Each structure stands twice: as structure tokens, then as C-alpha cells.
Amino acid sequence: MAALGKVFLIGAGPGAQDLITLRGARLLAQADVVLHDALVTPEMLELCPQALKIPVGKRCGQLSTAQAFINKQLVDNAHKFPLVVRLKGGDPMLFGRADEELRALEEAGIAVEVVPGITTALAAASATKQPLTKRGVARSVAFFTSSTAPDHDGHTAIPDTDTLVQYMGGREAIATAQRLLDQGRRAETPVVVIENCSRPDQRIFRLTIETLARGLGAAHGPVLVMLGDAMHQRAHQAPDSDATECERRLSA
């Protein structure tokens, strides 16, 4: 049976509806069916009122849709509909399992295209006004997750760069902070944690590696952690609106 449709892997960005690209929004408005991640907001789905919406979410520690099932859904829907969208949080090509989905579609002979989105690290840097690189301070950045390939000790390998950005941080970032201390990183190295980046309930935490190693408190949404000297606040930088509450919560 010949494939009739085309699949677009579209990055929804960090969450806010108006941070999706114009191209992504245009394709959503034309889509026949949209298979979307759990972190895609209801406001984002308002951009495709005409489409059949299929949730295929994956959340750490929660019941998730198997990747093989998602792959099959993409192939099956491409045989039924002309325009199929796979809507992913952030950017499809960074921690988005795009490789598995691209392979499944290519093996089935289905046309596929990728539309990039704003990955959360860049959105977080903008939201906190903290550049990930800084002249004379930080010239290298690494993005990693707790599921990155382990090192010879069985731990998640921590990249050796000036600025570290840990996706899906949460409790895993506490272990990262302790390992960095054990490896000789300065205890006062600044850390910026952002929860629910770009959303109305966004929270920003500013602390140090030493403080982070003692705990992060309860998080109610996706968390991204940025560590390194580039995270020092500028002398005249305005404070975050929720900084006081966050500091109290972290030190409790």
C-alpha cells in the first residue's frame, strides 16, 4: 500500500504558544492529525483545532507511550492522512528520539521533514538573562541528561565543559552537583535552575553547586539546570520576580 501522506516532525519549543516557529504554526493549522508529546501545552494545541489529536506522551517516572507504538502510529496515519504532524517539546533533534522515528518512516518509504524548535536550554538562557557563553569565562557548553551513556564507574558521564546544562534535571541534578564537588569543582560555582520554562508558572532558582547538592525541593514541572561561572548574576541585573520564594523553598 503506497504511502499517501507526509510526516513533519515539528519542535513546539519550550512551552509558550508564541515561541513555536511561524512554519511550525502554519503546518499545525494545516495538519490532518497531530501526535503530540505530554509536555505540549493545551494552548499550543489550539493552533490545530481542525486536526485529530493523539497524545503519545513520555514523562520520566510515569506511564509512557512505547516508542515502537509511536513509530507504528506515525506510519499508519501517514497511510490515512495527507499531512501528519509529530509535535515534540523543544527541538525534535535534541533528546527527542527523532532518530527512531525518522528510521521508521524512512524504512516505510514515507516522506518526512523536520521543522526545528527552540530547545529549552536556549529558552532558559533567555528567560533568566544568563548567556550560556561569556567572553573570558565560558567558551564551551554541553547539553546532557541523566540517561547519557555511563562512564566506567557506572555513573552518567558528566561532560568536561565550562557550562553544563542538564535536561530533565530534577533529583538527578542533585547527584550531578555532588559528583562535581567530588571532582573538585568549586562549591560556590553558580547554578540556575528553571522549572516550567516560558510558561505562566515558570520558576527560577539561583543557588550554588554546594546548595544544589543538599537538595532541590519539590518540582511540579519539567526542570532544566544550568551550572558554571557563566551563571553569575551581573552587578546590575534585575532580580527574578520569584527569587525570594525560590530561595526560601530551596533552603527549607
Give the integer Cα–Cα distance in Å for 78 and 124: 34
Q: Is the pLDDT of residue 161 over 50?
A: yes
Q: Do 245 and 164 sit in the same domain of this protein?
A: yes
DSSP category for residue 233: P
Q: Distance (Å, rounded) from C-alpha 143 to C-alpha 26?
A: 29
Question: What CATH number does the domain containing 31 carry?
Answer: 3.40.1010.10
Last residue of a domain, one of 98, 115, 132: 115
CB 225 within 8 A of CB 188: no
Over residues 68-82, the mean pLDDT reads 96
Residues 101 and 145 in one domain: no
Residue 1 resides in a domain: no
Q: What share of the chain in percent tops pLDDT 90?
A: 76
Mean pLDDT of 143-164: 76
Final residue belonging to a domain, choices 115, 131, 157: 115
- The verdict on residue 159 lying in a domain is yes
Kindly state whether residues 14 and 41 are assigned to the same domain: yes
Question: Does one domain contain both 145 and 168?
Answer: yes
User: What is the count of structural domains for the chain?
Assistant: 2
Same domain? For 107 and 142 the reply is no
Burial grade of 108 (CB within 10 A; 0-12, 13-18, 19 or more): middle
Task: Verify that 124 and 244 share a domain, yes or no.
Answer: yes
When the pLDDT of each residue in the chain is averaged and rounded to a whole number, the result is 89
Query: Residue 243: pLDDT above 90?
Result: no
Q: How do the residues of the chain divide into helix, strand and coil, expressed in percent and rounded to 5?
A: 30, 20, 50
Cα–Cα dist 34/161, whole Å: 38
| pLDDT for residue 251 | 45
198: containing domain: 120-251
Q: What is the structure's pLDDT at 58?
A: 66
**Is residue 237 in some structural domain?**
yes
Using the 3D structure, point to which of 99, 115, 131 is the last residue of a domain: 115
**Same domain for 102 and 144:** no
Residues 10 and 86 sit within 8 Å (Cβ to Cβ): yes
Catalytic annotation on 76?
Answer: no
126 and 241: one domain? yes
Q: Are residues 22 and 81 in the same domain?
A: yes
Q: Is the pLDDT of residue 129 over 70?
A: yes
CATH of the domain at 176: 3.30.950.10
- Please tell me the pTM assigned to this model: 0.88
Q: Which entry of 6, 18, 32, 37 is annotated as an active-site residue?
A: 37
**Predicted confidence band of residue 152 (pLDDT cuts 50, 70, 90):** low
160 noted as active-site residue: no
Catalytic residue among 6, 18, 32, 58: 58
- 102 and 127 housed in the same domain: no
